[in-house]
Amino acid sequence: MATTQTLIDRVRMELGDTSRSFVERLYPDGTTNRFLLSYNPLDGASVVVTLDGDDITADASVEESTGVLVLTDIPAANSVLLVNGNHYRYFKDSEIELFANTAILEHTAKRTDSLGRTITIGNLPALEEYPVALYATTLALYTLATDASFDIDISAPDGVMIPRSERYRQLMDIISVRKEQYRELCVQLGIGMFSIDVFSLRRISKTTNRYVPVYKPQEVDDKSVSQRVELSNPTYGDANVAWPTENGQLTSYQDIAFEASVTFTGDYTDFSFIAQLVTQRGSIQVVRTFDLTVDEVDGTYTANLSLDRDATLRLPNRCWWQVMSVDDVTEETTEIIAGDFFSRKNYTAIL
């Protein structure tokens, strides 16, 4: 089983960025408590600081990226600071960890283990540790290449030329080789972003214009309940229009009673209120009507919306909720507060 530290160690080995020890002696002048070390980035946890032979590590901190040592107090002039610890060539641990986490997210996207759980570093198969480390190494090399891209060639009047841009070209060549190595492993092992997936085309009923559900195949002697395949639905080019609302999005769960509270302000004397779900913003087609109670304190209204368990069974995946004021005289309705309403389905097989 992979761990964050094992991935960090693998990436450092691939980059040639393993830790190196250092010892540095400093001579304070009695005017500052900040000292620039000759090494960076540092492994802050490994740094030990002594002042005239006394351990003052607890009263010191280091800036890992820049290699700056900061003491709580200003040491006296003519004293001797001795600093030792480990440093790296390119990246500190937190940066390598970021590359590793990003590589895992992209390498395992849309994949689950045999139990249907999302693959994380905790259940990443041992076989995939090296490909993930390769991809994390590629991400780290891209960072180094970006830094090298700002170097320009130097030409001197005496004909001497320093091709500093060559470092960028070498890094891009290494990246190409590493990417191809990662792709080859993914193709041969059937893992990662280059794995070959098998899909089933979905059918749409001509009579209802609804998707026909797809279930995972099972062994002939497996009598357990069929598992529905969770497939993402295409958007068909639909663009959701942004709509400024207060407490904008509400979510209900199928077969569970729904409750929510929203607040609004204003003068609604001689007005009553209704709350309802409509198919979409601006529609007059009502999906459900909420059970509604409204409390008012100092001009602030709190609307309590609720649906019983049965009312949540057949809601659309997305619709529009709205609290409206009703003029008690003219019966004119005005939307006060509204927003998107999402319903999470609990799919069950019908045998």
Residue 244 has pLDDT above 70, yes or no: no
- By DSSP bridging, strand 300-307 and strand 258-265 are antiparallel
Confidence (pLDDT) at 84: 93
Confidence (pLDDT) at 347: 58
pLDDT one-digit tens code per residue, 12-70: 999 999 999 999 999 988 888 999 999 989 998 899 999 988 899 998 999 999 989 99
Token pair listed for 139: 């991400």
Measured between alpha carbons, how far is 133 from 96 in angstroms, rounded to an integer? 10
Measured between alpha carbons, how far is 108 from 120 in angstroms, rounded to an integer? 8
Residue 88 has pLDDT above 90, yes or no: yes
The average pLDDT across 185-198 equals 88
pLDDT one-digit tens code per residue, 9-28: 999 999 999 999 999 999 98
Token pair listed for 82: 């001795």
pLDDT interval class at 115 (50, 70, 90): low
Spell out the alpha helix ranges (H) of 149-165: none
pLDDT one-digit tens code per residue, 327-336: 888 889 988 8
Say which amino acid occupies 179: K
Measured between alpha carbons, how far is 147 from 263 in angstroms, rounded to an integer? 50
Contact 113, 119 (CB under 8 A): yes
The set of residues, in sequence order, having a beta carbon less than 8 Å from that of 343 and lying 6+ positions away, is: 251, 252, 253, 254, 312, 315, 316, 317, 318, 319
pLDDT interval class at 351 (50, 70, 90): very low
Among candidate residues 323, 321, 314, 313, the one with its CA nearest the CA of residue 340: 321
pLDDT one-digit tens code per residue, 259-314: 999 988 888 888 999 999 998 888 888 999 999 999 988 889 999 999 999 999 88
Measured between alpha carbons, how far is 335 from 275 in angstroms, rounded to an integer? 9
Confidence (pLDDT) at 12: 92
Q: What is the dihedral of CA 314, 320, 323, 327, to 10 degrees?
A: -100
Token pair listed for 346: 């609990």
More reliable by pLDDT, 204 or 238: 204
Structural domains of the chain sorted by starting position, each given as residue range(s) with its CATH number in brackets:
19-87 (no CATH), 93-194 (no CATH), 250-344 (2.60.40.10)
